[in-house]
Amino acid sequence: MKILMKTIQRRHPEIEIFKVNTDIDHIHLLVSLSPKMAVSEAVNILKTNSARMMSKKFPFLKHVYYGMDDGIWSPGYFVSTVGVNESTIESYIALQGQEDSGQAQLALI
């Protein structure tokens, strides 16, 4: 992730990545964008660059995701803006995946 962050910030200084955390099937980012940049444009840049870097580092991925037109990432994304309580979002990203692991499992009888 550090390589991705450096690459994005060097090529796209209007995107500033503050926090990154991953879970089994998704990733959370705390990002600041230039007011002139659309969120969809930033998501496209992040997904395109990260997919390109992962494909280079892990060539087997092209066989795993064979037939998918746009590669590794799903087409959707969720965005929420941060207001006065940025620390809540930072905490959520840092603890991602830990809250779900302690929940009771559904038992089928």
Considering the entire predicted model, what is its pTM?
0.69
Other CB atoms within a 10 A radius of the CB of residue 42 amount to 21
For this structure, is 92 an active site residue?
A: yes
Q: Which two tokens stand for residue 35?
A: 């007011």
- The torsion angles phi and psi of 39, rounded to 5 degrees, stand at -60, -40
Using CA atoms, how far apart are residues 70 and 4, in angstroms rounded to an integer? 19
Look at residue 43 in the predicted model and tell me its pLDDT: 92
Other CB atoms within a 10 A radius of the CB of residue 100 amount to 9
All domains of the chain in start order, with CATH: 2-76 (3.30.70.1290)
pLDDT tens for the 109 residues of the chain, in order: 677 777 788 889 899 988 888 877 778 888 889 989 999 999 999 988 888 888 888 888 777 766 555 567 887 888 877 665 777 777 777 776 665 544 444 444 4
Look at residue 83 in the predicted model and tell me its pLDDT: 65
